[in-house]
Amino acid sequence: MKRLLPIALLILAACKPEPAGEPVMRTEIGKHSEEPAKVEVPAQALPSPCQSVEFEQQRLTDCVADPARHSIAMALAGADGAPFRSLKTYRDNLGDGAANIAFVMNGGMFDTEGKPVGYYVENGERLKELNRNEGPGNFHMKPNGVFFGSDGKWQVLSADAFFASVSERPQFGTQSGPMLLIDGALHPDISEDGPSRAIRNAVGVDADGKAHFVISATPVSFGLVARYFRDQVKAQNALYLDGTVSALWNPVAKRLDSAVPLGPLIVVSNRENGAP
């Protein structure tokens, strides 16, 4: 891993264009070891929705949100309007509400201030419009896409499909890119096992409507994560959330990752404990 660099370099690295057929390279910043940094958090009575799995000789963590058991929301900033920028800050902001958390994961690309660069809806309020602009970097590796939902019905769609078919504002939504799977096929510009390696995370929804949030334990390619969603999750669509900054808070496992500053967060709460 490279030594810690200013966050500005992360943004520049994310905007570096790649030749067609190659995944966008991301500069590795911050110390993100094979065993993520952990902070002790109170254990919960409910079993963890996150399981360690092995796929193509690589270790991944697959956290499953079940509409019958969980609710999903986005979180970006506290009451003062300042983005949380870390899982620890978000956890500390919750107070007693932390007992209801199933897991939290970083959820979409962001600017130097931690604000989303694409579509973002929190508690039914749209804070950022759909971004269909051209540009460099992973976000603009078309097609990119949107993870969104309302009332326990969750979807991943490409940005164009979302624009064409979704007329009602969802309760939550976040835009990221690239899409890893589109209608069951790998993104056309993602190599089977390209040279770019990073700690990566992504989301997809299976045939039962359960959302799978997957994060790698070690640096892996875009293609490997895409194949996991295709071959194991059996998702039709899957969306890349980020690399290098990828992080997970899993209270039951007492895991609270800490790497570089984050942006939007996807919050999965337990319905059994009174989540809406």
Bridge partners for 61 per DSSP: 52, 215
Q: Nearest 5°: phi and psi at 81?
A: 85, -5
Residue with structure tokens 């290098």? 244
Nearest Cα residue to 11 out of 139, 203, 145: 139
- The encoded tokens of residue 193 equal 């096992």
Instruction: Give the pair of three-digit tokens for residue 32.
Output: 């993100």
pLDDT for 37: 45
Determine what percent of the chain falls in helix, strand and coil, rounding each to the nearest 5. Answer: 15, 35, 50
The total number of structural domains in the chain stands at: 1
How deeply is 57 buried, as exposed, middle or buried, from its count of CB atoms within 10 A (0-12, 13-18, 19+)? exposed
Domain membership of residue 88 (yes or no) is yes
Q: What's the pLDDT at 244?
A: 86
Encoded amino acid at 5, one letter: L
Structural domain includes residue 173: yes
Residue 24 belongs to some domain of the structure: no
Q: What is the DSSP letter of 239?
A: E
| Cα distances (angstroms) measured from residue 102 to each of 22, 41, 53 | 35, 12, 18
Q: Which domain holds residue 189?
A: 41-273
| CB proximity list for 24: less than 8 A, separation 6 or greater | 14, 16, 17, 18, 136, 137, 138, 141, 196
Reported pTM: 0.83
Q: Looking at residue 38, what is its pLDDT?
A: 43
Which helix (DSSP H) or strand (DSSP E) does residue 214 occupy? strand 211-216
Task: Flag whether 190 is in a domain.
Answer: yes
Q: What percent of the chain has pLDDT over 90?
A: 76
Chain segment 25-52, per-residue pLDDT in tens? 332 323 333 444 444 444 445 788 999 9
pLDDT of residue 192: 83
pLDDT for res 29:
28
- Per DSSP, the three-state class of 69 is coil
**How far is the C-alpha of 28 from the C-alpha of 30, rounded, in Å?**
7
In the predicted model, residues of the chain with pLDDT beneath 50 are 1-44, 273-276
What's the pLDDT at 205? 98
Tell me the β-bridge partners of 242. 201
Residue 36 lies in a domain: no
CA–CA dist 195, 220 (Å, integer): 9
Interatomic CA distance for residues 152 and 125, integer angstroms: 17
**What pLDDT score does 193 carry?**
83
Domain annotation covers residue 16: no
Residue 28 lies inside a defined structural domain of this protein = no
In a domain, 1, yes or no: no
In this structure, the chain runs to a length of 276
